[in-house]
């Protein structure tokens, strides 16, 4: 075994959005940085390699398949385009850090052996890295299903990573879990041509949102070829010659070519040796941090999915804004507690952008509420959905009746991932619903919906 020792001002564990940005900026300013990543395939982090970018690439291509396109050939072509894009982004991210003389990239698995020391193993090689300060950004991993009779290592038992590379395209795919990941993959595989059965333990989809939206989203999924089973849990499984059989607590069974478990992601802290460094975790296994993202050990921060916050790459990027100033000896301009109106998007076809409160939640919080809602197909001032032949969806905005400020929005429409950012910015900036209603927007655009929908506030 070959052993070496190295010292850095800052050691970053994990090449996610926050970690790589911190490493690149520190190194550009002359700080000696070591960044450790356990896999060449994960350079750049989850988002570009197995998360946001590849799945949205596949979903986009799936939406372009015509009825007479061969599903398998179309899926193969989409996978190839995704792989080409990932390779380019992976290379760009490597260069982003390696171009700086003060940055050292180490490939291997890191484990704390003390408060200021990690050991990085790569095959038979061992590198000991000491540093004055550490940033942990190891992300999250798919939660493994614990179903009697099913081996999670089986090629028929998938998670959100392995499902992206499945071959052949399943004729029938069962998906367990109806959260954002389950809805996205159900849409994707249905559009590619698979028959999809979505197994939901809840009574309805999107239970935290309006019942009308929930019902319309489910109807859209059924039109796309997704069967939805509510109030259902898988209690046992078995692999058979023709696929996977799932026994449920309702007494029914689902037999499919493969099963995808979309049951959430857990912080990737296993094997990090956090106990050796004295870094504490919470009841969910996430690294415990305060609003400045400091851990229980001075000089150690945790960023991104591993700290138990919202699992979004843009939140990870905001984490870097909080931690970087501290590493440079300055006070950050904001903390995690300052975040308001953080938008989310569930990528279906069309996508669903959400920010702020629903009408019911706003009323429960003590607001007098006005609501504007309209099906996308009936918004005359917004012809863009008709032009691109996707008029599904509904736009709903919740407004405080006393202040005229927007309290929340449910934007289920094409371009929702963009429109929700505008509404979120308006909420953070105190822009009134009236100003959004009277805004001058380009044409044709999805933003024009604000003119018509907000004019109908009840």
N-terminal to C-terminal alpha carbon distance within the chain: 73
Residue 181 annotated as part of some ligand binding site:
yes
The 3-state secondary structure of 223-261 reads: HCCEEEECCCCEEEEEEECCEEEEEECCCCEEEECEEEE
Q: Which two tokens stand for residue 167?
A: 């071959």
Q: What are phi and psi of 445, to 5 degrees?
A: -145, 160
Residue 443 designated active-site? yes
CA distance 425 to 374: 22
Torsion region of 450: left, alpha or beta (phi above 0 gives left; psi -120 to 50 gives alpha) = alpha
Residue 264 annotated as part of some ligand binding site:
yes
**Do the Cβ atoms of 301 and 136 come closer than 8 Å?**
yes
Residue 178 annotated as part of some ligand binding site:
yes
Residue 56 annotated as part of some ligand binding site:
yes
- Of these residues, 60, 172, 334, 443, which one is catalytic? 443
CB within 8 A of 70, min separation 6: which ones? none
Residue 204 is classified by DSSP as S
**Do the Cβ atoms of 187 and 70 come closer than 8 Å?**
no
Q: Which two tokens stand for residue 104?
A: 């050292």
Nearest CA-CA partner of 280 in 300, 296, 257: 296
Residue 325 annotated as part of some ligand binding site:
no
CA distance 285 to 110: 18
Q: Which two tokens stand for residue 34?
A: 């070591």
Q: Which two tokens stand for residue 341?
A: 């109106």
Nearest CA-CA partner of 10 in 128, 119, 129: 129
Question: Residue with structure tokens 């390699």?
Answer: 49
Q: Which two tokens stand for residue 9?
A: 């001002």
**Do the Cβ atoms of 156 and 322 come closer than 8 Å?**
no
Outline where 367-432 has alpha helix (H).
384-387, 416-429
Residue 71 annotated as part of some ligand binding site:
no
Residue 183 annotated as part of some ligand binding site:
yes
Q: Which two tokens stand for residue 153?
A: 């290592």
CA distance 222 to 172: 15
From the annotation, which residues make up the binding site?
Answer: 56, 177-184, 264, 305
From the annotation, which residues make up the binding site for NAD(+)?
Answer: 177-184, 264, 305
From the annotation, which residues make up the binding site for FAD?
Answer: 56
Point out the residues that are catalytic: 443
């Amino acid at each position: 075994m070959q052993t070496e020792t190295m010292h850095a001002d800052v050691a970053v564990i994990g090449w996610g959005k926050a970690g790589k940005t911190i490493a690149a900026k520190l190194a550009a300013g002359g700080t000696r940085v070591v960044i450790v990543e356990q896999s060449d395939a994960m350079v750049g982090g989850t988002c570009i390699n197995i998360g946001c970018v590849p799945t949205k690439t596949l979903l986009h291509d799936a939406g372009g398949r015509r009825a007479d396109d061969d599903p398998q050939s179309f899926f193969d072509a989409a996978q190839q385009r995704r792989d080409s894009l990932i390779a380019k982004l992976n290379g760009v991210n490597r260069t982003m850090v390696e171009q700086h003389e003060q940055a050292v990239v180490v490939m291997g698995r890191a484990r704390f052996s003390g408060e200021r020391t990690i050991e990085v193993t790569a095959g038979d090689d061992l590198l000991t890295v000491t540093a004055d300060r550490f940033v942990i950004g190891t992300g999250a991993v798919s939660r493994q299903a614990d179903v009697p009779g099913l081996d999670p290592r089986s090629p028929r038992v998938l998670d959100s990573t392995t499902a992206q590379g499945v071959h052949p395209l399943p004729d029938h795919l069962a998906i367990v879990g109806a959260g954002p990941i389950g809805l996205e993959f159900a849409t994707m595989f249905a559009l590619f041509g698979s028959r999809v059965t979505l197994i939901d333990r809840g009574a309805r989809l999107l239970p935290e949102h309006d019942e009308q939206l929930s019902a319309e989203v489910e109807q859209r999924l059924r039109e796309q070829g997704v069967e939805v089973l509510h109030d259902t849990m898988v209690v046992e499984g078995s692999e058979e010659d023709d696929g996977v059989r799932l026994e449920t607590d309702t007494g029914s069974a689902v037999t499919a070519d493969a099963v995808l478990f979309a049951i959430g992601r857990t912080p990737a802290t296993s094997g990090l040796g956090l106990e050796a460094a004295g870094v504490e975790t919470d009841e969910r296994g996430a690294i415990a941090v305060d609003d400045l993202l400091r851990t229980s050990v001075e000089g150690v921060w945790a960023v991104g999915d591993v700290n138990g916050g919202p699992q979004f790459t843009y939140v990870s990027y905001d984490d870097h804004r909080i931690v970087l100033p501290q590493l440079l000896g300055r006070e950050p301009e904001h903390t995690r507690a300052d975040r308001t109106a953080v938008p989310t998007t569930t990528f279906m076809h069309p996508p669903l952008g959400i920010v702020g409160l629903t009408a019911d939640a706003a009323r429960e919080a003590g607001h007098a509420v006005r609501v504007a809602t309209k099906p996308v197909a009936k918004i005359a001032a917004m012809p863009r959905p008709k032009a691109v032949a996707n008029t599904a969806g509904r736009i709903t905005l919740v407004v405080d009746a006393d202040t005229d400020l927007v309290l929340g929005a449910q934007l289920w429409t094409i371009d929702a991932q963009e429109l929700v950012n505008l509404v979120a910015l308006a909420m953070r900036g105190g822009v009134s619903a009236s100003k959004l209603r009277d805004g001058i927007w380009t044409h044709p655009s999805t933003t024009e919906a604000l003119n018509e929908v907000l004019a109908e506030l009840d």
